[in-house]
């Protein structure tokens, strides 16, 4: 019999995750990983948060049987996620007009949501910002959606091309699923203002678009409540929309795959029907989510004192990122780079879109052992006081040559 896979062409390596393997295989001591969006502390390690350590210890002692958990995840977890996303005493929470399903990280939330929109609602068109997190487009394509881009990054003015974005949104066919970055836009680091969000909401309403907010970085810009502004404005607008949450970043629980998909509808009755579809999609895909990460998040969010400690730890990560942004801008200037890097301080979240070309990024890897994504995105969390000067000087070198 002919080899069934004989003509299969290999897929390219993932542009983000492959940087980690390249970095790990580099023997140079001075190497730096600015690729994947993963928080690292001053020592270059991804810390286990203190409140997470406590949760791990408590859970370990309980020896909870490893049974299946519900298809939609831990019930209390789902409720706590809604409180975190919409705020205490939110109307959405009180009326029960949203349903939440625990997912395999933020990626799993997006994937489940897109599958549901295609399979149950017949959506065939999707849209994402140019540029966006590359996986957005792959997730939509895998769920059967045709993907188009809308203008977002304004290179000239180092910001958002908002009029371009609105123009492109108005040209989308009704029923297009529009992926919007709720905060800390990945990869650019440029977010919309409150008044711009209002305009986006109006366009979604008038052009019958399906908003899908991706909120992977709640807490990394200004604070847990502040960063939920866009999602809460959508909630107030009365529109039907979807929101993906991730606890990979805010809990440093990357490998545990802890996230959630929330769908906001006009009524509790509709939310219940939507949830039945989400469960049906999840059942056919992975059956039910893993329990451990969800239990950790539940342990922390369910108690005000633990919640406050977690909020403090998130603030600590956020502050370190801010400091690194400031130091990078200063060091690039000191290194005599031909370009001003002060824009990194106006961007928010883990990432900065540097404007470095793919060739310059390649050179950073080959000559200096500095790994970043070829579209010019760097993860600021890979910087620390020990390597920021080296990185800045290397940036200056590749920009000068
Ligand atoms: C990133 O953008 O680097 C992170 O969200 C990790 C990933 O899965 O790509």
Verify whether residue 53 is a known catalytic residue.
no
State what percent of residues in the chain have pLDDT above 70.
100
CA angle (313 as vertex; 308, 314 as ends), nearest 5: 95
| Sole residue written with tokens 């836009």 | 185
Task: Report pLDDT for 2.
Answer: 76
pLDDT, average across residues 150-161:
94
Each residue's pLDDT tens digit, 41-73: 999 999 999 999 999 999 999 999 999 999 999
CA-to-CA separations, 110 to 17, 304, 362, in angstroms, rounded: 18, 29, 30
Tell me, using a 6 A CB cutoff, whether residue 36 lines ligand 1. Answer: yes
pLDDT tens by residue, 249-288: 999 999 999 999 999 999 999 999 999 999 999 999 999 9
pLDDT in tens, 294-307: 999 999 999 999 99
| Chain segment 159-176, per-residue pLDDT in tens | 999 999 999 999 999 999
Inform me whether the pLDDT recorded for 214 exceeds 90.
yes
Closest ligand 1 atom number to CA of residue 36:
3
Mean pLDDT, the chain, whole residue set: 96
Q: How confident is the model at residue 224 (pLDDT cuts 50, 70, 90)?
A: very high
What are the residues facing 115 on neighbouring strands? none
H helical segments located in 256-303? 268-285, 292-301
What are 350-376's pLDDT values in tens digits?
A: 999 999 999 999 999 999 999 999 999
pLDDT over 90, % of the chain: 96
The reply to whether 214 belongs to the active site is yes
Ligand 1, atom 6, lies closest to the CA of: 37
Establish whether residue 395 lines the binding site of ligand 1, counting it when its CB lies within 6 angstroms of any ligand atom. Answer: no
As a whole number of angstroms, the longest Cα–Cα distance in the chain is 65
Question: Two tokens at 5?
Answer: 């896979």
User: Which of 37, 131, 259 to probe ligand 1 with, by most ligand atoms within 8 A of CB?
Assistant: 37
For residue 50 the two structure tokens come to 């203190």
**Is the model more confident about 155 or about 278?**
278
Say which of 78, 168, 214, 227 is annotated catalytic.
Answer: 214
Nearest CA to ligand 1 atom 1: 37
pTM over 0.85: yes
| 21 among known catalytic residues | no
Ligand 1 atom 2 nearest Cα: 37
Q: Which atom of ligand 1 is nearest to the CA of 133?
A: 2
Over the stretch 70-84, which tens digit does the pLDDT of each residue have?
999 999 999 999 999
The sign one gets for the Cα dihedral 215, 216, 218, 221 is: negative
Look up residue 23 and give its two tokens. Answer: 């970095």
Residue owning tokens 């492959």: 18
Mean pLDDT of 209-234: 97
Distance CA 114, CA 108 (A): 10
| Residue-level pLDDT at 1 | 67
- Cα 134 to ligand 1 centre (Å): 9
Residue to mutate (ligand 1; options 13, 14, 16, 129; most atoms within 8 A of CB): 16
Query: What residues form DSSP beta bridges with 128?
Result: 149
Could you tell me the distance, in angstroms and rounded to a whole number, from the CA of residue 186 to the centre of ligand 1?
9
pLDDT, tens digit (0-9, with 9 covering 90-100), for 305-353: 999 999 999 999 999 999 999 999 999 999 998 888 999 999 999 999 9
């Amino acid at each position: 019999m002919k080899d069934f896979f004989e003509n299969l062409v290999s897929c390219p390596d993932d542009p983000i995750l492959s940087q980690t393997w390249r970095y790990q295989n580099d023997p140079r001591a001075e190497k730096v990983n600015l690729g994947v969006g993963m928080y690292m502390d001053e020592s270059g390690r991804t810390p286990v948060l203190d409140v997470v350590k406590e949760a791990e210890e408590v859970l370990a002692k309980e020896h909870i049987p490893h049974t299946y958990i519900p298809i939609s995840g831990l019930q209390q977890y789902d409720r706590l996620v809604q409180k975190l996303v919409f705020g205490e005493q939110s109307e959405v929470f009180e009326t029960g007009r949203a349903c939440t399903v625990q997912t395999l990280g933020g990626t799993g939330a997006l994937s489940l949501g897109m599958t549901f929109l295609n399979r149950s609602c017949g959506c065939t068109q999707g849209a994402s910002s140019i540029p966006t997190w590359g996986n957005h487009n792959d997730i939509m394509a895998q769920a059967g959606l045709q993907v188009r881009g809308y203008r977002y990054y304004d290179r000239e003015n180092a910001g958002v091309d908002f009029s371009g974005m609105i123009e492109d949104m108005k040209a989308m066919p009704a029923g297009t699923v529009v992926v919007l970055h709720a905060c800390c836009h990945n990869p650019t680091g440029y977010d919309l203002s409150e008044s711009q969000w209002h305009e986006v909401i109006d366009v979604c309403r008038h052009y019958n678009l399906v908003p899908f907010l991706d909120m992977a970085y709640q807490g990394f810009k200004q604070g847990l409540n502040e960063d939920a502004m866009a999602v809460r404005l959508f909630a107030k607008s009365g529109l039907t929309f979807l929101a993906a949450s991730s606890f990979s970043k805010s809990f440093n629980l990357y490998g545990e795959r802890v996230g959630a998909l929330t769908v906001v509808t006009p009524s509790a009755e509709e939310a219940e029907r939507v949830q039945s579809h989400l469960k049906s999609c999840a059942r056919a895909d992975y059956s039910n989510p893993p329990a451990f990460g969800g239990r950790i998040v539940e342990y922390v969010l369910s108690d005000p004192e633990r919640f406050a400690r977690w909020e403090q730890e998130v603030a600590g990560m956020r502050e370190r990122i801010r400091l690194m942004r400031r130091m990078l801008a200063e060091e690039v200037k000191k290194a005599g780079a031909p370009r001003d890097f002060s824009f990194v301080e106006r961007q928010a979240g883990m990432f900065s879109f540097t404007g470095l070309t793919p060739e310059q990024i390649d050179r950073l890897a080959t000559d200096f052992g500095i790994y970043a994504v070829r579209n010019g995105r760097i993860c600021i969390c890979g910087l620390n006081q020990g390597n920021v000067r080296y990185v800045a000087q290397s940036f200056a070198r590749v920009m000068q040559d």
